[in-house]
Structure 1
Amino acid sequence: MDVFTAMQTAVSGLKAQSFSLENISGNIANSQTTGFKRVDTNFVDLIAEQQTPTRQVAGSVAANSRQTTTVQGSLNATEVGTNMALNGEGFFAVQTKTGDAAGQSTFSASDFYTRRGDFAPDKDGYLVNGAGSYLKGNSLDPVTGQATGEGPIKISNSILPARPTSTITYSANLPKTPATKNANASIAGSELLGTLASGANPAILSGTGTKTVSAADSASFINGSIDGPSLTAYTESGGPVGIQTRWAKVQNADTETDTKDVWNLFYADKSTVTSTSTSWTNAGTAFEFSSSGQLTSPTTTAVTIPALTVDDVSLGNIQLNYGSGGLTAYTSSGGTVTTNTLTQDGYSSGTLNNLSITKDGKVSGTYSNGNTVALANIKVVQFNNSDGLKANSNGTYEQTLDSGTPLVGLNGTAVIGGNVEQSNTDIASEFSKMIVTQQAYSANTKVISTSQDMMSALMNIIR
C-alpha cells in the first residue's frame, strides 16, 4: 500500500463515519416517533488485493445499516381504547389509502407492516394510525360473530340489533331438605310439594311431561316450594321479560323401593308474582339425584323448556344449560337454593359507546345495553427474519426475499390495548456512538493530512 492508497482508505473511513452519523442523527430525530426502530451501523473491512500474510494491509472500510426490528421499545399507556401495542414479535398488517371514488375508499393492493399502533377511527370508521396506515383484519358480524371479509377494519356506528334469549346457563345446589313453609321436622315428607289445595298434583316424578299450577293453587304451591333463579330474558324485538322460578322437591329417596330424590322446576306466568293471581308451569323435566347428591337423570347437560311464556309473551323454546355437574343436591343448612351461575344470551338493541382491544387481537365494542361484542380480528403477522424487511416511510416495512413470507397469527405475542410502543432509540447510547463517530472521523482527516504532507515531501525531493 502506498501513500496515495492510504489517503483513499482514509476517505472511505470518512464516508463510513458520515454514514454512521447519518443513522445516529435519524435515530435521535425519531426518538419520540411511535413504533420507530433505530438503525445501527455495521463496519466491514475491505481488502484491496490479495497478499501473503506478512504483506497484508488493513485495507479500506464500508458501512452498512443493521435493522433492529426485533428490539422492542417500551410500552406507554394512553387514554385511547383503540391504541394498541404488540408485546412480543410481529407486526400489524396495514394498507395505504390510494383514493376516494363515489364515496368509496380504495386501498393499496399489497400489504405493509408496522409496529406503530396509535390507531383511531377516522371520519369513515376506519382504524388509521398517525402515519396514515389503515389497520387490516377480519370484520365480524356483531350478531353472529362470523367473519364478513378481510380488509381495512371499519367500525360501524349502526345500532346493535336485539337478540332474543335462546339459552339460559345455570348451575346451583338444591338443598337435600328444602326449607318450605310446609316443612315440619316431626312430619316425614312435609318438605315435599305434594297435593295442592284443589287436590291437583303438578309433580313430574320421572322423565318429562306437562303440568301446571292454577292461580287458585298458587298459595299452597308457594308454601311447598322454594325460590329458584330470577332473571331478565329478551324477546325478538329486545323487550325485557322477567322470569321468576321456584324449585319444588316432589319425591324423597327410598332404598327399599329404589326411588331417588326428585326435583321439579316451575316458572311463573307473570313477571310480578302474587300468591293469588299467578299460575305456574312445570318446566317439564324430573331432575333425579343420587344419595350422594349427584344428578343421575337426565343424563344430558341441558334440557329444553318448551314454549316459555310470561306476561302473554312467548319466548319460544328455551334451552336450560347446566353443564356437567352443574346441578347438585347436597345437604344445605339453610334449606335454600345456592346459585353458582346464572346467565342468558339475549339482549336489547344498543348503540356503540366505546371501543377496546383484547389481548388475543380483537376489536371489541361496548354498547349502551351493556353488551361487549367482538367487531373485528386484527391481522398480526411474523417473519422468520424480521430484520430482512425493507423500511419505508411512515413507519412501515415491506416484505423482501430476505425476510421471508408473512406468518399470520400472534404465536405467543399479546396485543396490549390502550398502549403504544415507543421508539427503541436510547438517547444516551446514541450520544455515546456520536462521540466515537466524531473522533473516528477526525482521526481519518488526520490520516489525509499526514498523507498529503508525505506526498508533498516526496514531490520536493526532485527540487
Structure 2
Amino acid sequence: MGIYGAINSAVSGLTAQATALENISGNVANAQTTGFKRLDTTFSDLVSGGGATQASQVSGTTFATSRATNTVQGDISQVDVDTYMAINGEGYFIVTQASDVVDGSTSFADETFYTRAGDFERDAEGYLINSSGYYLQGFPLDPDTGNAVGDAPSVIQIENQPLAASASTRLDYQANLPRVPDTTDYDGSDEDSALLDAAVGAGNVTVANEQAFLDSSISGGSITIYNQNGTAMNVEVRYAKTLNEDSGVPQNDTWSMYIGTGGDATNAWYDVGDIEFDSTGAMTNMTAGVIGAVNGTSDGFTIATLDIGGTTATGIEVSFANGSLTQYSDPDGTASSVALDQDGYPAGELTGVAVDESGRVIASYSNSQQRAVYEIPLATFEAEQNLKRVDGAAFEATTSSGEADLSGGGQILAKNLELSNADIADEFSKLIITQQAYSANSRIVTSADEMLDSALNMVR
C-alpha cells in the first residue's frame, strides 16, 4: 500500500470528518428547535489487507456513521400555552400531515409520524397542529363513561359546537332551621306567635295572603336551576313553622317548605311539604305537600312539575340526605348554614382547550363546564434509534425500529415544552476536535505528496 495507501487513509479521514462537521452544523442550527434530537458521529475503521497478524498489518481507512440520540431527553421548559406539552420519559406524540384542503375542510394523509415537538395549538378548524405542520392524533372519549373509543388514534378535532344544556334533576339542600323563627309576627315572648299565620291556610299561598305569609315565615335561600332546554329558573325557598312542641302535648316540631311561583296570578308560593324534627333537632318524618311528594328514601321531596314565572321544569328532587336539614337552637331566629347545589347547566359556547397531566384534552365552556374529549397516547418502540428522521423534528417507523406500541410511555407534562437536546457548548467542543482532525488528515495528504515528489526526483 505504502504512500498511496496513506493518501487513501487520509482522504477517508477527510471524508469522515466532513460528515462529523455536517452533523455538528445541523445540531447547532437546531439548538433552539423544539423536540429536536441531535445526531452524533461514530467513527469505524476498515482494516487494509495484509499479513495474518497485527505486526504485518496497517491501520487502514475510516468511515463515519451518524448515531441517533433519541433516548437522550432535552431540557423541559415551562410555557403559558394551555395546549403545549412535553414528554417526561419515553414515547412520542402520534401525528400526521394534511394531504389536501377542499372547500375549507382539511383531509389527511395515510402516513403516521412520531415527534417529541409538543408545541400544538388549535387552528381555525379545531385541529391541534404544531409549528412543523403535524396534526396531533388521539383516542376520542365516550362522553358518558369517559373511556377511550376504539384502538386506532384519529386526528384530534375540538369543534366550536355548543355544549348542550342539561336539565336540573337534583337540588341538594343544607340548612339549620331555628327552634324559634324570628318572623315579623313574633312578639319575642310567646313562641306560638312565630308560627304560620292561620289566615294563610293550608296548601299553596295565594296572592291575597302573600304578605301574611311573608310576615310569618323565614327565608331559606335561593338558587338557579335549568329546565330541559337550558332556561334559567330562580328557585326561592321559604319556611314557616306550623307546629310547636311547646304548644301543649308532646309532639314533634313541624315546618312547611315553600317555593316561590315567580308571579303566578293565583298562587304566590307553592306548598312543597312538611318536615318534622324531634327534640334533638334531627329530621324524623316528612309529609307530601301540594307539589312535593316524599321521595323513595324519605329524605327529600320529588317535584314532578315546577312552573316558575311561566317556565316549567320536570322531575326535580330536593334532597336533605345525610341529615343536611336540622333544627338546632339559633338566637338569630334565621335559617343558618344554608347551602344549595344543583346538577343542571345551560348551553355553553367553547371558550378554551387545554391538556391535563393525565394526557387528556379538556374542552372548557362558557357555562363553567369542562369535558375530557380526547386521550393522547404515547408511542414507544423496541429500537427507537432505528427510526427514520423526517422533516420537522419528526420520525417514521421502519422495519428495524419495530411497530409503535401505544400502551406505555412516559408522563405528559401540560404547559411545558421539551427543548432540543443539542448543547451549543458541547457542539463547539466537538467542532474544535473535528477541525483539528481534518487539518491533520490534510497534512498527511501534503506529506504523502512531498514523499511522492522525492521518489520521482530519484530518477531524474
- Partner residue in 1 for 2:293: none
Equivalent residue for 1:425, pick from 417, 422, 431: 422
Please tell me the residue identity of whatever aligns with 2:225.
Answer: A
Please tell me the residue identity of whatever aligns with 2:99.
Answer: T
Cα distance, 1:317 vs structure 2: 0.7
Residues 385-440 of structure 1 show CA distances to partners (whole Å, capped at 9, x for unaligned) of 544432211222122355444343786623424x5443333222222221121112
Paired positions, count: 442
Instruction: Tell me how far apart the structure 1 counterparts of residues 147 and 369 of structure 2 sit (CA, whole Å).
Output: 16
- Partner residue in 2 for 1:317: 315
Residues 256-300 of structure 1 show CA distances to partners (whole Å, capped at 9, x for unaligned) of x99888776532222x799x9621331x58587894969999868
Are 1:338 and 2:341 counterparts?
no
Q: What is the SS of the residue equivalent to 2:434?
A: helix
Are 1:394 and 2:392 counterparts?
yes
- Partner residue in 1 for 2:291: none
Equivalent residue for 2:258, pick from 252, 266, 285: 266
Are 1:131 and 2:128 counterparts?
no
Residues 211-244 of structure 1 show CA distances to partners (whole Å, capped at 9, x for unaligned) of 6444455455545554334222223333221111
Contact 1:145 1:374 in 2 (8 A): no
Q: Which runs of 5+ in 1 are unaligned?
A: 202-210
- Partner residue in 2 for 1:208: none
Are 1:380 and 2:382 counterparts?
no
Equivalent residue for 1:408, pick from 381, 403, 406: 406
Equivalent residue for 2:270, pick from 263, 273, 280: 280
Cα distance, 1:12 vs structure 2: 3.4
- Partner residue in 2 for 1:205: none
Sort the Cα spacing of 1:350 and 1:456 in 2 relative to 1 into closer, same or farther, 3 A: same
TM-score by length of 2: 0.74
Contact 2:83 2:414 in 1 (8 A): no
Instruction: Tell me how far apart the structure 1 counterparts of residues 328 and 385 of structure 2 sit (CA, whole Å).
Output: 62
Percent identity (aligned):
33
Instruction: Tell me how far apart the structure 2 counterparts of residues 350 and 114 of structure 1 sit (CA, whole Å).
Output: 34
Q: What is the SS of the residue equivalent to 1:130?
A: coil
Instruction: Tell me how far apart the structure 2 counterparts of residues 129 and 312 of structure 1 sit (CA, whole Å).
Output: 50
Instruction: Tell me how far apart the structure 2 counterparts of residues 67 and 289 of structure 1 sit (CA, whole Å).
Output: 77
Instruction: Tell me how far apart the structure 2 counterparts of residues 404 and 151 of structure 1 sit (CA, whole Å).
Output: 21
Please tell me the residue identity of whatever aligns with 2:26.
Answer: G
Decide which moves more: 382-391 or 311-320: 382-391
Instruction: Tell me how far apart the structure 1 counterparts of residues 165 and 89 of structure 2 sit (CA, whole Å).
Output: 38
Sort the Cα spacing of 1:110 and 1:455 in 2 relative to 1 into closer, same or farther, 3 A: same
Q: Which runs of 5+ in 2 are unaligned?
A: 287-295
- Partner residue in 1 for 2:77: 75
Q: What is the SS of the residue equivalent to 1:278?
A: strand
Structure showing greater Rg: 2
Contact 2:264 2:309 in 1 (8 A): no
Instruction: Tell me how far apart the structure 1 counterparts of residues 217 and 83 of structure 2 sit (CA, whole Å).
Output: 51
Superposition pairs for residues 179-190 of structure 1, below 5 Å? 179-181=181-183
CA RMSD of aligned residues (A): 4.7
Sort the Cα spacing of 1:286 and 1:113 in 2 relative to 1 into closer, same or farther, 3 A: farther
Equivalent residue for 1:436, pick from 430, 433, 438: 433
Decide which moves more: 453-462 or 105-114: 453-462
Instruction: Tell me how far apart the structure 2 counterparts of residues 3 and 161 of structure 1 sit (CA, whole Å).
Output: 84
Contact 1:244 1:273 in 2 (8 A): no
Please tell me the residue identity of whatever aligns with 2:79.
Answer: A
